Structure 1
Amino acid sequence: MSEGSTASHPVLDLSGHRYRRIILAALADEQRPLTVNDLTKAIIKHNDNISVMEIPEGRLSELQLLLHHVHLPKIESTRLITYNQDRGLVEPTEQLDRLQPQISTLIEADSAIESPVEL
């Protein structure tokens, strides 16, 4: 796949990791800004199938660091979200709204993720 085709299909590139699929699905379902804590809870619920209260503290911190340093910046680079690191706030953009059908298709293809992705 050439670089140009990857850039024209950001959802395909981003969907390679389940955390990013959950993040995109949660933002698309909620249609509003979410905090990093909201997204962390969604990932724990839909990836680990446990409540936030059951997850070890170290795992929670590790997940939030991964979101902050890896997954959210990668999604933001495609302009699907804006990520305010100081406030811990992630806002969907119009670009994300336009790609909603592709995101929904990818989420439906992942049998481990229940749709809609609730917080």
Structure 2
Amino acid sequence: MTEETIDFNTVIDLCRDEHRRIVLSVLAAEQRSLTVNDLRTAILTCNHHTPVTDASGEVLTEIGALLSHTHLPKLESAGVIEYYSERRLIVPTEQFDQLQPHLSTIIGADPNLDEPIEL
């Protein structure tokens, strides 16, 4: 089965939201499957500058819901991840590799993502 090439406008659309840029950045840096909790931690650290232990339950729930119901389904519909909601697992696809050249440029231009995001 041949993978379709990802259109640059799709890449721009996927990177439009800061949380999705963080998700894509972490997936690019880690090069492995991650959990929703891993991504939530990265968003808390990068965007909220808060460790999970200091975050309120409300913030944790909000970020988890946004990931599960908005951002991850959008990335999955673009074909760059597979999202297994029952296991809360995110797996980068071969299509994700096609994002890498564009992604590194876009993420590199984001002043909030200057440092590699570590889990």
- TM-score (structure 2 length as normaliser): 0.90
Q: List structure 1 runs of 4+ shifted beyond 4 angstroms.
A: none
Greater alpha carbon shift after TM alignment, 96-105 vs 70-79: 96-105
Q: Which residue in 2 is equivalent to 1:79?
A: 79
User: Paired residue for 1:17?
Assistant: 17
Count of aligned pairs: 113
Q: CA deviation at 1:115?
A: 3.1
Structure 2: runs of 5+ lacking an equivalent: 1-5
Specify the alignment match of 1:8 in structure 2.
7
Structure 1: which 5+ residue stretches go unaligned? 1-6
RMSD: 1.1
Partners of 1:24 and 1:86 in 2: CA distance: 21
- Which residue of structure 1 lines up, in the alignment, with residue 89 of structure 2? 89
Deviation string for 1:42-97 (max 9, x for gaps)?
Answer: 01111111211111111101110110000000011100000000000000111111
Quick one: distance in 2 between partners of 1:118 and 1:11?
23
Say which is worse superposed, 9-18 or 67-76, in terms of deviation. Answer: 9-18
Instruction: Find the counterpart in structure 1 of residue 69 from structure 2.
Output: 69
Residue 3 of structure 2 corresponds to: none
Q: Which residue of 1 aligns with 2:34?
A: 34
Equivalent position SS for 1:74: helix
> Partners of 1:115 and 1:96 in 2: how far apart?
21
| Partner Cα separation in structure 1 for residue 100 and residue 81 of structure 2 | 13
Rounded Cα–Cα distance in structure 1 between residues aligned with 2:13 and 2:40: 21
Identity over aligned pairs, percent: 47
Q: State the SS of the aligned residue for 2:112.
A: coil
Structure 2: distance between partners of 1:71 and 1:18: 10
TM-score after normalising by structure 1: 0.90
> Which string of whole-angstrom CA distances, capped at 9 and with x for unpartnered residues, describes residues 13-52 of structure 1?
1111000000001001100000000000001111111211
